[in-house]
Chains A and B, each alone.
Chain A
Amino acid sequence: MIELSLEFLLAMIALLLIVLSGFMLYIFYQRQREVSFNKSRDHYLKDYSLLWYDYFFNNEIFSVVLIPRGKPQVKAIEIIFSSYLKNISNEEMTRKMKDFSNLYLKQFYEKDLMSKRWSIRMNALYRIADLQLDELLDACRKLEDTNYSKEEFFQLLKIYSIFQPELFMQKIKVPNANYAESEYRRLFVLLEEDVFIQFFDDFTSWPASIQFAVIDTAGAKRNMKYIDKLEHLLMNDDDEIKIRALKGLFEIGVIENIDPYIPFVTSDLWEVRLMIGKIFKYVPLAYTFPYLKQLLQDENWWVRNQAAKTIAEDRDGIEKLQEFISYSTDAYALEMAQEIITRKQGSR
Chain B
Amino acid sequence: MIFLHYAMLFFGGVIVFYMLFVIVSYCTMFAIAMLDLRKRYRLDPSEYDDAHIDAFYSKPVSLLVPAYNEEIGVVDTVYSLLNLRYPQTEIIIINDGSTDRTLETVIKHFQMKPVNKIVRTNIPTKEVRQIYESEIYMNCILVDKVNGGKADALNVGINVSQYPYFCSIDGDSILDEKALLRVMKPIVLSDGEVIAAGGNIRIANGAKMQLGSIYDMQLPNNYLVIMQVIEYLRAFLMGRIALSKFNLVLIISGAFSVFSKKWAVEAGGYATNIIGEDMELVVNIHRLIKEKKAKKRIEFVPDPVCWTEAPHTLGVLRNQRRRWHQGMFESLWKHKKMTLNPRYGLIGLVSFPYFWLVECLGPIVELGGYIYIVIAFFLGQIYYEIAILLLLLFVIYGVIFSVASVLFEAWSMNTYPRKRDLIRMVLLALTEIFWYRPLTLLWRCEGLIRFLRKKSEWGNMKRVGIAEKEKSV
Contact = CB atoms under 8 A, between A and B. Distances in A.
B419 A20 contact: no
Contacts of A126: 44, 47
Given A13-B400, A16-B396, A185-B57, A3 B43 contact: no
Interface in B398-433: 400, 403-404, 407, 410-411, 414, 417, 419, 422, 426
B240 interface: no
Given A20-B404, A28-B419, A183-B189, A336 B411 contact: no
Given A2-B385, A2-B386, A9-B392, A27 B410 contact: yes
B42 A123 contact: yes
B426 A24 contact: yes
A182 B189 contact: yes
Contacts of A6: 385, 388-389, 392
Most chain-B Cβ atoms within 10 A of its Cβ — which of A5, A12, A185, A216? A5
A58 to B, nearest CB: 27
A9 B393 contact: yes
A195 to B, nearest CB: 19
Given A2-B385, A9-B396, A24-B407, A185 B56 contact: yes
A3 B43 CA distance: 47
Contact of A123 (B43, B57, B389): B43
Interface string A210-223: 00000010001000
A155 B189 CA distance: 15
B387 to A, nearest CB: 11
B235 interface: no
B260 interface: no
A243 B386 CA distance: 69
Contacts of B396: 9, 12-13, 16
A342 B393 CA distance: 70
Contact of A180 (B44, B189, B419): B189
B118 interface: yes
Contact of A16 (B115, B389, B400): B400
Given A180-B189, A209-B191, A301-B120, A122 B400 contact: no
Contacts of A335: 118
Interface size class of B (residues with CB under 8 A): 35 or more
A339 interface: yes
Most chain-A Cβ atoms within 10 A of its Cβ — which of B40, B47, B417? B47
Nearest to A119: B43
Contacts of A220: 56
B400 A336 contact: no
Nearest to A155: B47
B385 A180 contact: no
B194 to A, nearest CB: 10
A343 interface: yes
Given A16-B396, A180-B191, A182-B58, A23 B407 contact: yes
A240 B216 CA distance: 48
Contacts of A191: none
Contacts of B43: 118-119, 122-123
A2 B392 CA distance: 12
B51 interface: yes
B42 A186 contact: no
Interface residues of A, number: 44
B109 interface: no
Contacts of B414: 31
Interface string B104-123: 00000000010111101000
A86 interface: yes
B395 interface: yes
A186 B56 CA distance: 9
Interface in B28-54: 39-44, 46-47, 50-52
Interface in B267-314: none
Given A16-B400, A27-B422, A301-B120, A119 B40 contact: yes
A30 interface: yes
A12 B419 CA distance: 27
Contacts of A31: 414, 417, 419
B227 interface: no
B411 A339 contact: no
Nearest to A32: B419
B188 interface: yes
Interface of A: 2-3, 5-6, 9-10, 12-13, 16-17, 20, 23-24, 26-28, 30-31, 82, 86, 117-120, 122-123, 126, 180-183, 185-186, 189, 209, 216, 220, 301, 335-336, 339, 342-343, 346
Interface of B: 39-44, 46-47, 50-52, 56-58, 113, 115-118, 120, 188-191, 385-386, 388-389, 392-393, 395-396, 400, 403-404, 407, 410-411, 414, 417, 419, 422, 426
Given A180-B189, A342-B116, 20 more contacts: A6-B389, A9-B389, A9-B392, A13-B396, A13-B400, A20-B400, A20-B403, A20-B404, A20-B407, A27-B411, A31-B417, A119-B42, A119-B43, A123-B42, A123-B44, A126-B44, A182-B57, A182-B189, A336-B118, A339-B116
Across the A-B interface, the 4 shortest Cβ-Cβ residue pairs: A119-B43, A9-B392, A182-B57, A180-B191
30 contacts: A2-B386, A5-B389, A6-B388, A6-B389, A6-B392, A9-B393, A9-B396, A10-B392, A12-B396, A16-B404, A20-B403, A20-B407, A23-B407, A24-B407, A27-B410, A27-B411, A30-B411, A31-B414, A31-B419, A82-B46, A119-B39, A180-B188, A182-B58, A182-B188, A185-B56, A216-B56, A220-B56, A301-B118, A335-B118, A343-B115
